[in-house]
Every structure is written in C-alpha cells, then in structure tokens.
A and B are shown apart, each in its own frame.
Chain A
Amino acid sequence: MLLFCAVGGNSPSKHSIQPKFDESLIRRIGEEDQDALEELYIKTGRAVYSFVLSIVRNPADTQDIVQETYLKIRAAAHLYQPMGKPLAWIFTIARNLARTKLAQGNLLLSAEDCKIEEDPQYSYISDPDDKMVLESALKILSQEERQVILLHCVAGMKHRELASNLGQPLSTVLSRYNRALKKLKKHLLEQGVL
C-alpha cells in the first residue's frame, strides 16, 4: 500500500503516471473501498492538482480544493453514472469547487499580488529557473492555456485525452498548447531564463 507524502513534493518520475483508470474504481469507492480510493488518488492526483492550479494559481488553495474534490468524490461516488469519462467528472467537481472559492473571494493569495520568489508556498521548488518558468506560466498565460500546458507537461496527459476530458476539440487543444509554449518561450527569453 503506497502512501502519498503530504509535505515536500516528490521528484517527478521518468515516466509520469497517466491518469487512466477504470470506471469501476468509482463504483468501488462508493462501496467504501479504501484501496480503490487510494488507487484513484495516485493515478489522478497530480492531474487534478495541475488542473486546479491553472484556475486558482496558488498552491495553498489548490491543495485545499484538491482535498475537497476527493472528499466530494467519496460522498457522491455511489451516485456516479458511468459515462465513459470518469476523469471528466472529477475535473468537473474540481472546477466547480474552484469557481465557488473564487466567487467567495476566499483566496489566500493572488498571483498578481505576490511574486513566486517571495511566496513561501513556492519555497518547495528548489530550482529558481523552474520557479521562474512556473511563475511565467501562471502570470502570462490564459486559463485555458494554463490548463492545457500544465495538464500536458505535469500530468502527462496527451492532447487527445485533454480534448476528450475538457470537452474541447483536439485542434483547439493543440493550438492553445503551441500558443502557450510560444508565449512562455518569448517571455523567458526576454527574462533571460532560457
């Protein structure tokens, strides 16, 4: 049984865990199967985190929302109707929770207010260049571009999976991804990071 460490992130493995799983996991979670919940968390946690981070743009809120997401999954798993896209359902829950939090204005920090290099939340990031790249991504990209680039680069989701789970055309996903990379490249070159 694998336990996921809460403090200090893990170094990314060479082969990212792709959030692919069987819908039966959700049904089992509804039956209070802890192993199923753990398996789901391992497979989808990073993807949900990247997704929420692209919306709220700060790690603390992201952490809370991700936690609430999985609690909601536990509460509603028995009501889940198989539709072939369980990850899309999880993203829906995460998005609704993030929007609720944004609407309530209960954000701890805003990306415009605080610079990452001064933000203690980002102190876990050892490499300053990595920090700069993340800050640039959260600052200059649109929400859709952030979603696509973080889910692809961090969670390892393929463009087709993104298109399917986000409910967007593949061409849209590809164009957003390329545009995001171009923006980041230009900005980072100007900043002298690259």
Chain B
Amino acid sequence: MYRKKIKKALKQAVFQLPMPSFEKISNTPVTKLLEHDFITTQEPTKQKVQNSISRVIAVVCVCCGLFFAFGMGWFAQNCVIDSKIMLDVNPSIEITTNHKDCVLEVKGLNEDARTLLAGKKYRGQGLSQAIESLMNLLTEDDYLTESKNTILLSVQNKNTQHSQQLEKNISDYIRASLEQQHIIPNIIDQLIIFNQEEEDTARQYQISPGKIRYINGILAYRHDYTLEQLAVMNMEDLANLFEDADDFGDNDDDREDSSDDEDQDDPEEDSSDEEQDDTDNDDEHVEKKQSGVIKPSNKLPQKPPQQEDFSNDDSEYDSSWEEESDYYDFSDDGPDSVDDSAIDD
C-alpha cells in the first residue's frame, strides 16, 4: 500500500516540474559534429562486448575443432594400426602398418627375433624396404638358407580385400629379396583375425599368433605332439609335420588304409588314396573356413614332390613272389598254398 502511495507521489511530483521547451530545442541552431566527442561517444554495450567475446570464443572453438578433426584424421591415417603382419621362420617378427601400409613398428616376439632386430629402426619405411631388410637379416644369420626356406606369413586386417592384396605384395617382396640370395622361399600364408586367446597363448610361448594358429592346425590331427613341443620348432619342421598331418585323417580306418597302401605299393590304389587325401584336405579347408579362418590360401607346403626312385634302392625287395599268387592264404594248406621252402629262397 505504501509502495503505491510512494510511486504515485513521486510520479505526480516530477510530472509537475517544468520540462524544457521543445520549440527551444528544435529552433536552437546546432553545429553538426564531425565526429563523436566525449559527450556523445557511443560506448560499446556490454551485450556487444559479450557478443564480440562470444564470437571470438566461437571462432576459437571452431578453429580448435577443425584442428582437432584434422589432427585426428592425420593421426588415424598415419599412426593408427591398420594391419598386423607376422613372419615366422624361427624368429617370430611382428610388423604393424598404418592405413597407407607404412611401417609403424617392427618388433621381435621371441629372443632370437629381438636379438636379430636389436638397434634396427623401421618406423616410417615402406613395406618393401622393411621386408627386404628383414630378409637380409634372416639370411645373414642363416635362419633362411636354400634348404631351410619355409616362412609362415600371417596377415591380419579387417578389410579382406586389403588383406589379400597385402599378402600378395609381401609374398612378392619376400621372393624378390631372397632371389638375390638364390633362395626360393616356401611361403605359407594365412589371412586371419586373431582372437584374444591366441594372442595370450602366443605371448606366453613368445611366438606370433600366426604360428599359434598354424600349430593348432597341426595339433588338430597330430595328437602325439603338444603345444610346448611345437612352439619351439622352426617353420621347416612344422611344415613337414603339417604335411604328415594330412596322412592323419579323422577316420582311424583311413589311417589303417593308408598304411596298408604303403606296404602294397600299388600305383592305382596310391592315386585313389591321394584323391581321398585331397578330398579330406578339401573337407579340412571347409572346416577351417567354418571355424573362422578367412582364407587359408595355401595350407599345404609347396615342396616339390619327391619322386621315389627305387632304381638304386637297396632295400630288401624280392620280386620273385610276384610270379606267385597274389596273396598268401595262410588259412589252410590247400593246393594253392606255396611251399615255404620256395619263399625262403
């Protein structure tokens, strides 16, 4: 109530005070200012200052955002691991590359590899240059020779197409490098995405996850070996085991049939068994694909087939019995049974 009274009183009081005459204001001659003086100067309003500051802050934020975006883009292009390549001879070497297939890091996974790579820097190098350097090191230390020429190449990349291209390129680089040393490499390549379990196991045994995957392939059929035994083998020996593993089918009957076939040495039966083996291999390929392997492109080692030469074979082979009956019937002493004395001769 008092507020209203006070407000009303003030209003009435001031309204009754005389105001300057408009006519005097409008008729008094004035000199136009050329520029603002200290009386008429326009002070930038706080809002304008705030707007200016806000604008500056906005520009700074945008610049920071752009810088961050470009920085992140550059980082993603150049520093983020895009592919992992593993080379196993006996030294196990891991190469990581960026999106442009430039080397980020080359590290040894076991003692031999670490010794081999001591003091070497590969960051920023192209892949071909790095592979050539590594092949030179491996040949200098006799890890790779004309007789010991097996290399396990494992490539990991989310993009399958890129993986395949990378695998092909690296294989070419390896062959080109070793050609100068007159070594024809036996490259076993695999395109895979490793799981955590394989990586942990690889770390435990100080080998590459690629080698672990290869060893697991052997252990699937060779139950007479353990992971510990295979982990310390070089690729040459592992490749031989893998070849032998093909003879160890899932079916025990097949194993018996193959051993029987070796004894009889019948070419026709041998070829049919080989066909059976090929079929089994195909099944293994399918099984491997189903288990998550992207493409085991070359499962079998590419060794030239060793032709058996019996011309100088001094093994005990008596061809005289071929003229006899095809089989011996030990069931009874029938008219077709052969005289034991003839056999002894």
Contacts and interface: CB of A to CB of B under 8 A. Distances in A.
Interface string A142-178: 0000000110111000000000000100000000000
B2 A150 contact: no
A6 B24 contact: yes
Nearest to A92: B43
B24 A67 contact: yes
Given A71-B30, A181-B6, A184-B6, A41 B12 contact: no
Interface in A64-86: 64, 66-67, 70-72, 74-76, 78-81, 83-85
B18 A149 contact: no
Contact of A4 (B6, B21, B42): B21
A24 interface: no
B32 interface: yes
B221 to A, nearest CB: 83
Contact of A41 (B11, B16, B25): B25
Given A38-B26, A79-B35, A96-B38, A153 B7 contact: yes
Given A46-B15, A129-B9, A133-B10, A93 B40 contact: yes
Interface in A22-62: 34, 37-38, 41, 45-46, 49-50, 53, 59, 62
Contacts, number: 166
B39 interface: yes
A93 to B, nearest CB: 6
Contacts of A8: 16, 18
Given A66-B19, A76-B33, A150-B14, A37 B6 contact: no
Interface string B19-60: 111111110101111011111111111111000000000000
Contact of A92 (B3, B42, B48): B42
A110 interface: no
B12 to A, nearest CB: 5
Contacts of A105: none
Contacts of A122: 13, 17
Given A4-B22, A127-B13, 10 more contacts: A50-B14, A53-B14, A93-B40, A122-B13, A125-B16, A126-B16, A134-B14, A154-B10, A167-B45, A185-B3
What 4 A-B pairs come out closest when comparing CB atoms?
Answer: A6-B21, A133-B9, A67-B20, A9-B16
Interface of B: 2-3, 5-7, 9-26, 28, 30-33, 35-48
Interface of A: 3-12, 16, 34, 37-38, 41, 45-46, 49-50, 53, 59, 62-64, 66-67, 70-72, 74-76, 78-81, 83-85, 88-89, 92-93, 96-97, 100, 121-122, 124-127, 129-134, 137, 149-150, 152-154, 167, 181, 184-185, 188-189, 194
18 contacts: A3-B23, A4-B19, A6-B22, A11-B12, A62-B17, A63-B19, A72-B39, A79-B36, A79-B40, A88-B45, A100-B39, A125-B13, A130-B10, A130-B13, A133-B13, A134-B9, A167-B45, A185-B3
